[in-house]
Structure 1
């Protein structure tokens, strides 16, 4: 705490008091009104006297007076603030705060808290399986080798070693055609989307979003003041007609490997048609390749970005699902001719730091630890997917299941007489986080959806049976209008 500022503010209110009295009364008032909380350590008398440019005896007198009043006490040669009944600060006159933006007022409630503590929380990896010891070793090594330059502002594109390691990984595992020069390291997919929306489209231009779709993309497009139009999704992915292209979209956001949230895979004919139409219309495709590392049935599907050399695609990815959300590292692959333009924007908007963590991640990939971790998680998640499918067949045999071939979640469809929002509300009370499909719809004009998104990556196999049995009871309770599971 800045005691110089604290004392200066008090002196403005009580200029006639002696310095000794001023310091005592200032600290006393700060303790009683809660500015100095209980257990706060006051500076040593010598240091405080030097900082305030007053005699040390003045500080000693103030501390002694406070101790006599029971407001401070000493422990292990430190002076600590005691726990006292604090008096309320004088209320200020009521004021009318400035209004929020129209964009923020449309967000009427916060999103559900996503955490591993909730069974079925989508998008949550198994953090217990993360190789903490190996990561700590690489992080320690990166810090030991860190130069003064790495402690400053970094390259706007991110650490070159990480970008090169990532480019090699994407070329081999996702058939993405790129070099490290085309990669921008971001804080995650949301920041990549914000960057794309700002750099590639002007306010009022049209952006297409799969419907139902990813709320983060909707937020990024609306924040950029784009006209967002939801395009329906069927079993073959985003479903576009020739008439739709009359809208002349500037941006199209798609999740072709595992459509969010339905889990459908965009078929090859539709991928090629989308690329050709986008090329002819001058439209940018934002390919979010989330969950593509975890394909459980059949061979891996190559990314759209690499299907043709002139693909108008910006490729988005993140380590939040493959490693851990707290890492806060994502990436954006842009066409070579866009690098300079995106760099001009990124240099003014992207955070420029965490070089040591990026260097550790580069070593994690270069040493083969990332691939080893992915292989382990594929086996783990596939086993949990199988256990969830078996439990659903036992306890909810009439419920259709979609999107189980890839990723960390699947969806189930509910009958019309059971509202997914009602099941969601009951489930939250029981510690289950099942995301309603109806809340992920972009446009009211698209067919209404009624179902649940079930994440399984963070669930132990022996927990899945219990969770599905509970979910089945909640669904039955929602049908009967009851508030409690039977």
Structure 2
């Protein structure tokens, strides 16, 4: 092809269809040309075998340097779009485009996995700033300056070594600090080797499921209960069976154990979510005994038991009897702040050695500076002082919310829980559809959660609202409950 032929070829006309623009959103002329040729090949406008203009001719036509064109051709050649030779530059044959040209189609199914279809969409996926949203601590009361000091010291002391992968089980300093705190505050029995640091409680749940279950095995979950646990169990391809909760926590009959014993039992014994019930000591011991007899494991989620508002803290099930078949899960998302994404699991001693290969192959020991900072935050007493301040704050907010409900919620309702944590649950008459009320509340910057949303198989008694008070000022409860009462009347 001569220079005269190149200047008037259809291929060159295609590449000159629109001019290259200097300083277009910071994209260089060279990158614009690269995208133009690559796109024309992929959409078939430059078919296989098509000969491209020489670098000199194309550069002259576009008004750019020949070096830019040469660089584009070289990159396209390296990617396999074109073949460069002394006989000219031609578009290669791409198998995908060849198949499309031959009208051979193989389209992957747009469906997600079977386990994925079992997961329900979150109803109250709302900003943390909305009033009455459950599960959010008082973010504005976290001692950021003290945390920053711990983080700065962790960075200075660990230096660049903490930029690499750490121990898959987490920084030993943090595991020791957690062990010591649990022994005093929760009555748990463990050694640092039993503690595994995770990215929040959700990863801890998934890890435990991988450790002790196989697909298809039975798992019991509280009903109504935390959706995160339901999701983790369903994603583990387990046969999830909801077990009802009453005023004394998880209620399991002997017939249920004899009919089909589970491999795993998930429970929040110190403060059931969302009803607020406390699993009684007799039921705890019975659950542990039945689990031992049937070869089952118990997942004890102690998500916000640090915030007990009356009486002494309730000890963890994990420490009630020696060698209890309990995998104990905790998180700092509620006690500190959610974006920290640090949780932990305490493995039973008999599982530690067997779990080591899985831990080393699936965990990588990240967030090392944050882990070291948290270890100092706990050991220095900052953590305990922060918990004390938050207990007092949440107790005031709970009292203010109870008063507002008593004085301004003029529809029949039953208040459940309230001795611990950062939420209060109210049961409403069946004609007050909780999902409609919760949806309407969004228009007024409120995010209460519908109680029925926490049940896999909702019953009439699972109709109500879960009201979070952790991140809502007590001065707002009166106007909020007044508005909520109006919404309940409107949606009866």
Question: For this structure pair, what is the TM-score category when the shorter chain's length is used for normalisation?
Answer: 0.7 to 0.9
Q: 1:442 to 1:23 in 2, by over 3 A?
A: farther
Equivalent residue for 2:100?
Answer: none
Matched, 1:160 2:172: yes
Q: C-alpha displacement at 1:281, in angstroms? A: 0.9
Normalized against structure 2, the TM-score is what?
Answer: 0.80
Query: Of residues 466, 471, 474 in structure 1, which corresponds to 2:487?
Result: 474
TM-score, normalising length from structure 1? 0.81
Contact 2:194 2:347 in 1 (8 A): yes
Counterparts of 2:254 and 2:395, CA distance in 1: 38
Distance 1:312 1:102 in 2: 31
Is the CA contact (8 Å cut-off) linking 1:318 and 1:330 kept in structure 2? yes
Question: For residue 18 of structure 1, what is the aligned residue in structure 2?
Answer: 55
Q: What's the Cα RMSD here? A: 2.8
> Which residue matches 1:409?
423
> Partner residue of 1:426?
440
In 1, are the aligned partners of 2:201 and 2:343 still within 8 Å (CA)? Answer: yes
Contact conserved, 2:427 with 2:465, CA < 8 A, in 1? yes
Match in the other structure for 1:135: 147
- CA distance in 1 between counterparts of 2:296 and 2:148 reads 43
The offset of 1:352, in angstroms, is 2.5
Q: Distance in 2 between matches of 1:229 and 1:22?
A: 69
**Structure 1 unaligned regions, length at least 5:** 28-44, 55-92, 480-486
2:216 is matched with which residue? 204
Which residue is 2:344 aligned to?
Answer: 331
The change in CA–CA distance for 1:403 and 1:374 in structure 2 (over 3 A counts) is: same
The answer to whether the 8 A contact 1:222-1:228 is kept is yes
1:119 to 118, 121, 131: 131
**Deviation digits for residues 423-447 of structure 1 (CA, Å, limit 9, x no counterpart):** 1121122221111111111235x66
* Offset, 1:346: 2.2
Q: Kindly provide the CA deviation profile for residues 362-411 of structure 1, in whole angstroms up to 9, marking residues without a partner as x.
A: 11111110001000000000000000000000012542101111100010
Report the counterpart of residue 87 of structure 1 in structure 2.
none
Once residues 396 and 23 of structure 1 are traced to their aligned partners in structure 2, the CA distance between those partners, rounded to angstroms, is 78
Q: Is the 8 A contact 1:10 1:22 kept in 2?
A: no
* CA displacement at 1:104 relative to structure 2: 2.2
Partner of 2:491, secondary structure, is helix
1:416 to 1:22, Cα distance in 2 relative to 1, 3 A: farther
For residues 326 and 19 of structure 1, the distance between their equivalents in structure 2, rounded to whole angstroms, comes to 55
Question: Which one has a bigger Cα radius of gyration?
Answer: 2
Structure 1 residue 26 displacement after superposition: 11
1:317 aligns with 2:330: yes
Asked if structure 1 preserves the Cα contact closer than 8 Å seen for 2:179 and 2:192, the reply is yes
User: CA offsets per residue over residues 67-105 of structure 1, 9 Å max, x none?
Assistant: xxxxxxxxxxxxxxxxxxxxxxxxxx9977532112223
The 3 A distance-change label for structure 1 pair 392 and 25 is farther
Which of the numbers 321, 344, 347 marks the counterpart of 1:308? 321
CA displacement 1:213-265 (0-9 Å, x = unmatched): 11111111111111010111100001111001021100000000110110011
Residue in 2 that maps onto 1:251? 264
Give the Cα separation in 1 of the matches to 2:247 and 2:293.
26
Go from structure 1 to structure 2 and tell me whether the alpha carbon gap of 1:311 and 1:19 turns closer, same or farther (over 3 Å shift).
farther
Q: Which residue of 1 aligns with 2:9?
A: none
Give the length in aligned residue pairs. 420
Q: For 1:318 and 1:278, locate their aligned partners in 2 and report how far apart those are by CA, in whole Å.
A: 24
8 Å contact from structure 1 (residues 212, 233) kept in 2 = yes
Partner residue, 1:223 = 235
CA distance in 2, matches of 1:165, 1:24: 69
Deviations 1:2-21 (A, max 9, x none): 98887656566584253795
